[in-house]
Each structure stands twice: as C-alpha cells, then as structure tokens.
C-alpha cells in the first residue's frame, strides 16, 4: 500500500498537464510553420521579372469534347413562354440591363420567325424579397441565321428581351422577376446587388475574367471553380460559345473546323449552341453582371456581309450610354474602375469611328473618381505563343500609343488558349509606366490548349501565318532589342513574365486606388485549398506615370494585413508577423512552465 497517494495523484496531474502543454506547443509550431511557409506576394514594383515558363503538364489532356445538348446544364428547363437564359449587364452606376429569351427557336430548311411583340418584356423589382415596388418595360426582337446553300439548315431565334432598370441606388440589393405578367409567364425571383458609386474608395469585391470559354467539360470546371471564388462581376474577353465549330445540322463539333469540314461552302454554325450556352451561364449571369466583348468565333458570317448577328442581338451592352455608336466597343464604370472594351474586329484605324470614340472616352475620364483604367479586347498584342503570334500587330500600331498616353493600368485578352502575364511593356520595350498585359484565353473550349511557344526551336511562325479573319496584316521583324532583325525571339521574351499552358480563370481584386491583386486559378487546382497558379499585386504609380493628367488620385499603401497573404477569400490564411512574434513568446513561456512541472 502506497504511503503517499497524494504525491502520485499530484505527479499524474503534472504529467497530464505536461502532455497538454506539449500538444499545445506542437499545434502552435505547426500553425507557425504554415504561416511562415506562405511567401510574400510579389508586386509589379518588384519587376520586371525574369521570364518563367511552366510547361504543359503531360498528365493532363489538352482538351475535351463539347457537352452534348442533352446535358442537364444545357437543356431547356422551362415551358412555353417562361423566361430562360437570364443575364445581367451594367448600364451605368444607377442602371442595369436584364436580358432573357422566351419561346422556342426554330431550325431546319424552312423556318418562320415569330412575332417578337407577341410576348411582353417586363421586370418587376424592389428592395425586399417578394415586394416589387417598380416595373420596367423594354424591347424584344428575334434574329435569323440564314444559309442559302443546298442542305444547310437555317435558324430563327426565340424572342430575346432587353429591359433597362433605371434609377437604382448604388450598393443596394434588388429582387426581381422578369417575363410577361399578362400570360402570365414570370420567372422565379432572382437577386442582384448594384455596385458602389464610382469613387477612389469604392470597388467591386471580385471581378472574374474569362476568355475562350466554350461548352466542354473543361468549361464546366472553369465555371464551377469561378463560382466557388464568388465574383461580383464577369468580364468575358471573347469567344463565348464556339457554335461555329459545327455544321448547321449539328452533330459533333470539331476542334479544327477546316480539318473536319474542308468542303463547307461557308463557315457554318449550329445556333442552338448559343441557347445552350445561355442556359449554362444563367446560374451566374442572373445574379451578377457579365460584360462581354466579341471574339473571332462571334463573327459567324452570313451572305451579303452580315456578321455578328447572334452576338449583337443577344447581349445588351452600354454602348449608347458610353457614347459609342456600335455594340462592338463601349466603356463602363464599376466602382472606381473604368473599363474600356475595344472591338478588334471593328475598324480600329486612327481615322475611324472607334478610335475617335476611344480618344473622347479617355479625354473625359476623371482619374480622381475612377483611378483604375482597365482595357479588354479579344486578340492580344503581346503574346509569345506560336498561336496568333503578331496577328493583331496592326491594331497595336494604331492604338497602343493612345492607351499608353492615358495610363491604362491593365489589359485583358483572350484568343490564345493559354495563360500569359507580361511585365509592364510599351512598344516591345520594358517600361514601368506600360500596362500589365494578361492573356486568359484558357477558359476550356473545344479547340484545346496551346502549348507551342514562338521561341521554341522550330516553332516560330512564318510571316504568312496567323492572318486575322477581319483586318489587315502588319507582321514584321523586330527593329531593336535582343531579337533585332528576327521575327521571333530565340528565348522567352523579356516582356513575358510568366506563361503556362493550362485551363483556368482569373480574379481581380482592387484593394484601393493604388493596389490590385491579380490571381490566376488553374482548373487542375480547383479541388486544392488556397492553390493559385499565378498571383501578383499590380501597383499604380500615378505621380510617375500621369504627370500631365488633368486629375489623378493620390497613391495609397497596401493595408498591412494584405502585404504577405493571399486574398481575403474564404479559407485564405493571413500571415501576421505580430501574431508570429506573440506565438514565439507564448511558446517560450509554455516551455518554462513545462520545465518546472517536469523537474519539480
């Protein structure tokens, strides 16, 4: 029998306490290790960066077939004249476009367009769910895609409705239904939130940027991944549906149209893919605005020179609101960001209407209200891939100086089916006041990912390759720099900071008038927590680069809690040096306690 039971009990208690402290110490060190492992996010002030290439992962497929029309995400799920394919688009800081389709499209040798006035265009909306205090009415129309060639099918759309909601309050949630109340055929209730009023202190939370999306299984992964990242707006930089990878009779789409259908009398399209794409996107576009710009796959030529018919009819954009006379180019504000959406397949000559509109738009811009200036169009000017290399050099020669003069901060492009981020560049020369050009043409379309670089041995295109579908050709050898006298570089160009052949999407998060966080999310990382393919803070320097501007905002610092962390998205880890120091002190204190317990 033990004579000192209280001593044994006391010792057992000490051992349990010591074990608890050890576990606590291990947990603290583990959390510290994770925190310290997060590297600081670079900024453009750290550049220019040495070029980096991440080669295509051979364990991945370069592409996938299109989803069939029977796929649940593509099928029509409403009856009669109830709305479907509902989509939002910004009109102004106090107005929003709402578009949708009713009725059934027709396709075949003989089709008869329906009367667009047969179904009304109404939106009921208000600030409380189920309480609609306002009603707005708009326009309706149909379009035809006719092919007067033997055996080719024609198409006439359902009724496409566009309604503008005016007098909205910035930063407010609105509930709405759309349709025709007299039938009655109204949609279910949807909700959207207006952006804050333009100001150097107001910005959308997250802006998603996608290009060359299509309707494949890769496209589905892109949209699912994007939805998880919870954007407040989508910027779509062209090539939406890839309906022109089909014959008019449907069937199976091709990754290479001219290879699969060499005898086609015209570049055919299967227009029902447009309806499928609208249904595919509706879960997103019915609650956040999607701002589009045309790509080459939207040209869809018909006889008599008719082009872009589907694109121009289906999408409402703020062309008139921004002073543009064409829906192929326009501008808009999203909080303190001014977006310019340029038409690469419209006349961009310096003597043309688009150039005059662009100059006027830039001249009227007040950078003290909208400090950030972001431009987007489909084909890139700066691109080190073999695909579409120097294809739109003519557009660059016409417009680059004007964009540089007015201090464009970021340019988003698609067209090339890969990802590439440039160092700040102007006229092929590294320039700390040049825009950051970013290619995100890797949405997942049927044409597969691009893997060849123009600087790879034997991969440099000839000057006769990469001819624009619309517009002139200005291919030329470099007149200065390391590639002087050559059409291609012999290594990754110095203006190319990072490139990778993978599908994905980007997220832009503007922090303040000086800092914006850009993150590229790869599809293969969609199930990995906090994984990013590329990330950088883009930093404006208005004092340096906008000396002659009539108005500019003051530079701001990056908030301390964001200087070395991922963005504030759900699940992101924050790296706080003060927290680390306090944890170290806590560990030392706990070890002291443990030492006393262990030896007494």
Q: Which two tokens stand for residue 27?
A: 């947990």
Non-local CB neighbours of 37 within 8 Å, separated by 6+ positions: none
Q: Which two tokens stand for residue 150?
A: 């033997």
Non-local CB neighbours of 543 within 8 Å, separated by 6+ positions: 552, 555
Where does 242-369 have alpha helices with state H?
257-260, 272-285, 309-314, 353-363
> Under a CB-based contact definition with an 8 Å cutoff, are residues 271 and 107 in contact?
yes
The CA distance from 331 to 319, in Å, is 7
**Catalytic: which of 162, 338, 378, 388?**
388
Q: Three-state DSSP class for 42?
A: coil
The CA distance from 475 to 480, in Å, is 15
> Under a CB-based contact definition with an 8 Å cutoff, are residues 418 and 445 in contact?
no
For the sheet with 95-102, list strands across it.
84-92, 95-102, 159-165, 139-141
Non-local CB neighbours of 443 within 8 Å, separated by 6+ positions: 210, 211, 212, 213, 214, 218, 219, 222, 239, 414, 503, 505
> Under a CB-based contact definition with an 8 Å cutoff, are residues 242 and 253 in contact?
yes
The CA distance from 552 to 542, in Å, is 7
Give me the phi and psi of 470, to 5 degrees please: -135, 130
Catalytic annotation on 417? Answer: no
Q: Which two tokens stand for residue 536?
A: 């950088």
Identify the helix (H) or strand (E) that includes residue 124: strand 122-126
Cis peptide leading into residue 48 (ω within 30°): yes
> Under a CB-based contact definition with an 8 Å cutoff, are residues 501 and 449 in contact?
yes
Non-local CB neighbours of 385 within 8 Å, separated by 6+ positions: 416, 418, 420, 450, 452, 453, 454, 499
Q: Is 46 left (phi over 0), alpha (psi -120 to 50) or beta?
A: alpha
Percent helix, strand, coil in the chain (nearest 5)? 25, 25, 50
DSSP 78: -
Cβ count within 10 A of residue 227: 13
Q: Which residues pair with 436 in a beta bridge?
A: 410
Q: How many helices (H) and strands (E) does the chain have?
A: 9, 28
C-alpha dist (Å) from residue 365 to 261, 274, 326, 339: 47, 35, 20, 11
By the 10 Å C-beta count (0-12 exposed, 13-18 middle, 19+ buried), 72 is classed as: exposed
Question: Which residues are annotated as catalytic?
Answer: 388
């Amino acid at each position: 029998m033990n004579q000192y039971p209280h001593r044994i009990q006391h010792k057992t208690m000490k051992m349990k306490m010591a074990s608890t402290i050890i576990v606590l110490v291990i947990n603290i060190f583990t959390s510290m290790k994770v925190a310290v492992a997060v590297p600081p996010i670079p900024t453009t002030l750290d550049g220019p960066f040495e070029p980096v290439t991440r080669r295509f992962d051979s364990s991945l497929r370069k592409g996938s077939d299109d989803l069939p029309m029977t796929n649940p995400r593509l099928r029509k799920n409403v009856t009669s004249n109830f709305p479907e394919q509902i989509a939002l688009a910004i009109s102004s800081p106090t107005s929003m476009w709402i578009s949708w389709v009713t009725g059934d499209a027709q396709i075949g040798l003989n089709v008869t367009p329906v009367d667009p006035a047969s179904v009304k265009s109404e939106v009921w909306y208000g600030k409380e769910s189920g309480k609609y205090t306002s009603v707005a009415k708009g326009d309706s129309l149909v379009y035809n895609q006719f092919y007067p060639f033997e055996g080719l099918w024609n198409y006439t759309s359902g009724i496409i409705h566009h309604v503008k909601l005016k007098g909205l309050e910035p930063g407010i949630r609105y509930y709405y239904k759309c349709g025709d109340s007299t039938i009655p055929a109204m949609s279910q209730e949807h909700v959207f939130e207006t952006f804050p009023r333009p100001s150097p202190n107001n910005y959308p939370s997250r802006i998603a940027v996608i290009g060359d999306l299509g309707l494949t299984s890769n496209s589905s992964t892109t949209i699912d991944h994007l939805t998880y990242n919870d954007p407040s707006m989508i910027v779509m930089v062209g090539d939406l549906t890839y309906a022109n990878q089909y014959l008019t009779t449907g069937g199976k789409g091709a990754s290479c149209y001219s290879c699969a259908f060499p005898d086609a009398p015209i570049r055919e399209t299967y227009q029902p893919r447009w309806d499928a794409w609208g249904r595919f996107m509706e879960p997103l576009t019915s609650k956040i605005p999607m701002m589009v710009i045309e790509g080459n796959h939207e040209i869809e030529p018909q006889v008599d020179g008719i082009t872009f018919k589907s694109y121009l009819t289906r999408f409402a954009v703020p062309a008139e609101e921004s002073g543009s006379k064409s829906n192929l180019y326009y501008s808009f504000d999203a909080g303190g960001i001014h977006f310019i959406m340029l038409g690469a397949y419209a006349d961009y000559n310096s003597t043309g209407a688009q150039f005059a509109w662009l100059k006027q738009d830039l001249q009227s811009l007040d950078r003290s209200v909208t400090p950030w200036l972001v431009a987007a169009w489909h084909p890139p000017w700066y691109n080190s891939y073999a695909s579409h290399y120097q294809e739109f050099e003519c557009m660059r020669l016409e417009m680059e100086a004007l964009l540089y003069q007015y201090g464009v901060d970021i340019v988003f492009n698609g067209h090339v089916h890969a990802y590439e981020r440039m160092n700040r560049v102007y006229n092929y020369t590294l320039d700390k006041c040049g825009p950051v050009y970013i290619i995100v043409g890797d949405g997942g379309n049927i044409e597969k990912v691009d893997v060849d670089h123009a600087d790879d041995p034997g991969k440099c295109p000839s000057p006769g390759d990469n001819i624009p579908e619309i517009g002139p050709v200005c291919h030329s050898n470099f007149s200065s720099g390391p590639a002087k006298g050559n059409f291609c570089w012999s290594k990754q160009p110095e203006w190319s900071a990072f490139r990778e052949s993978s599908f994905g999407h980007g997220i832009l998060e503007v922090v303040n008038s000086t800092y914006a966080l850009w993150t590229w999310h790869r599809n293969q990382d969609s199930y990995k927590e906090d994984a990013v393919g590329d990330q950088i803070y883009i930093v404006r320097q208005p004092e340096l680069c906008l000396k002659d501007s009539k108005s500019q905002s003051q530079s701001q610092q990056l908030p301390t809690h964001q200087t070395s962390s991922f963005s504030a998205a759900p699940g992101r880890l924050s790296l706080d040096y003060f927290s680390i120091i306090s944890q170290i002190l806590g560990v030392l204190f706990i070890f002291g306690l443990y030492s006393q317990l262990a030896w007494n």
